[in-house]
Amino acid sequence: MQASAARSSSMLVTKRRCSSARRNPQQVRPRCVAEVTVRSEVKSKSKPSFDFNQYMKERATLIDAALDKSVPLQYPEVINESMRYSLLAGGKRVRPALCLAACELVGGTIEQAMPTACSLEMIHTMSLIHDDLPSMDNDDFRRGKPTNHKVYGEEIAILAGDALLSLSFEYIARETRDVAPERVLQVIVEVGKAVGSEGLVGGQVVDIKSEGAGVTVGLDTLQYIHEHKTAALLEAAVVSGALLGGAGEVDVDRLRKYSRSIGLAFQVVDDILDITATTEELGKTAGKDLAVAKTTYPSLVGLERSREIADELIEGAKSMLTTYDPAKAAPLYALAEYIRARKN
């Protein structure tokens, strides 16, 4: 197993089993960004205040409108309906929001980054559709609604995922405006890498192969899974946004480090929420990791240490932003804080 450990915080392994989760699969509701209190530096007296909840509400409205246009309801309707069902089901829109924020931080515009922001949400959504299939995680609820295959059947759900993946790359190439073609190509390479065997697919494969009786997963392998299944797409979101906005190498490098840290933190928090949040709060089945005895950060290092690791990663991410104007970097500071504090 080649497990990349280069991006880690310090990790102390103390085996501990976590308490059982509260679950009620019937009680699910559509999700949006929860109104979390963001403990961001940008709220302190010395720095301009930033209303993260309002910001995300506005961003989600813009992103949802763009996504709505991206998949027209045309013949053969069933596939487009199925794609739209999951794409417009009200996810938190973290990846597109990161893409837009990174673009603006380096001087770009929302318009330059929106096609890529939509593409990232299409890829994320297709990965959720496929992840929920009976041959993968076999889940009944996602984003507070029955999973795609529960509504449209397995064949259509697989094809909806495939069509979203194909459209995602077409969409960047076809819809991006006012960005140099070589930058658009760089973005396509960045996103492609995050999806394939060096990204989501690679992480999912190691995850699947790490499940089942008699398989012991160590922290290095778990970190590999998290960095590829989850962090890779968040990294592509931030780096693509920066590239579209005209960032030079130094900025791309800094923002890549920021995104790797928030990306791993995102999944560590996901592991924590699986055992601390309800199905209603999550919009998907809570306690799933525990039910199938899956290795997670809490199962390997305990809840408390998992929270510390998430904190360390978020602090590391924020330290990459200190060279920027605090007002301009406020969204990325706040998104990092949100990832630590989120409730779903």
**Using CB under 6 A as the criterion, which residues of the chain lie in contact with ligand GRG when the complex forms?**
91-92, 94, 124, 127-128, 130-131, 136, 143, 165, 195, 200-201, 204, 229-230, 267, 270
CB of 145 to ligand GRG, least distance (A): 10
Q: How far apart are CA 155 and CA 173, in angstroms?
A: 28
CB of 243 to ligand GRG, least distance (A): 21
The interaxial angle of helices 154-175 and 77-87, nearest 10 deg, is 80
CB of 249 to ligand GRG, least distance (A): 28
The answer to whether residues 242 and 106 touch, using CB atoms and an 8 Å cutoff, is yes
Q: How far apart are CA 287 and CA 190, in angstroms?
A: 33
Of 43 and 95, nearer to ligand GRG (C-beta) is: 95
Of 90 and 246, nearer to ligand GRG (C-beta) is: 90
Of 197 and 322, nearer to ligand GRG (C-beta) is: 197
CB of 262 to ligand GRG, least distance (A): 12
Of 200 and 320, nearer to ligand GRG (C-beta) is: 200
What phi and psi values does residue 67 have, to the nearest 5 degrees? -65, -40
CB of 181 to ligand GRG, least distance (A): 25
Of 94 and 238, nearer to ligand GRG (C-beta) is: 94
Token readout for 46 is 């010395």
The answer to whether residues 126 and 157 touch, using CB atoms and an 8 Å cutoff, is no
The interaxial angle of helices 110-131 and 232-244, nearest 10 deg, is 160
Taking CB positions, which residue lies at the least distance from ligand GRG? 91
CB of 343 to ligand GRG, least distance (A): 11
Of 252 and 262, nearer to ligand GRG (C-beta) is: 262
Angle made by CA atoms 50, 110, 194, in degrees to the nearest 5:
100
CB of 207 to ligand GRG, least distance (A): 8
Alpha helices in the chain (DSSP H): 52-70, 77-87, 94-105, 110-131, 148-152, 154-175, 181-195, 200-209, 219-226, 232-244, 249-276, 279-282, 288-291, 297-301, 303-319, 326-341
Note every long-range contact of 47-56, with CB atoms under 8 Å and residues 24 or more positions apart, other chains counting. 47/326, 47/327, 47/330, 48/326, 48/327, 48/330, 50/327, 50/330, 50/331, 50/333, 50/334, 52/331, 52/334, 52/335, 52/337, 52/338, 55/331, 55/334, 56/92, 56/93, 56/97, 56/338
Q: How far apart are CA 169 and CA 173, in angstroms?
A: 6
Q: How far apart are CA 83 and CA 78, in angstroms?
A: 9
CB of 85 to ligand GRG, least distance (A): 13
**What is the DSSP secondary structure assignment for residue 17, as one 8-state letter?**
P
Of 91 and 115, nearer to ligand GRG (C-beta) is: 91
CB of 344 to ligand GRG, least distance (A): 7
Of 108 and 199, nearer to ligand GRG (C-beta) is: 199
Of 128 and 167, nearer to ligand GRG (C-beta) is: 128
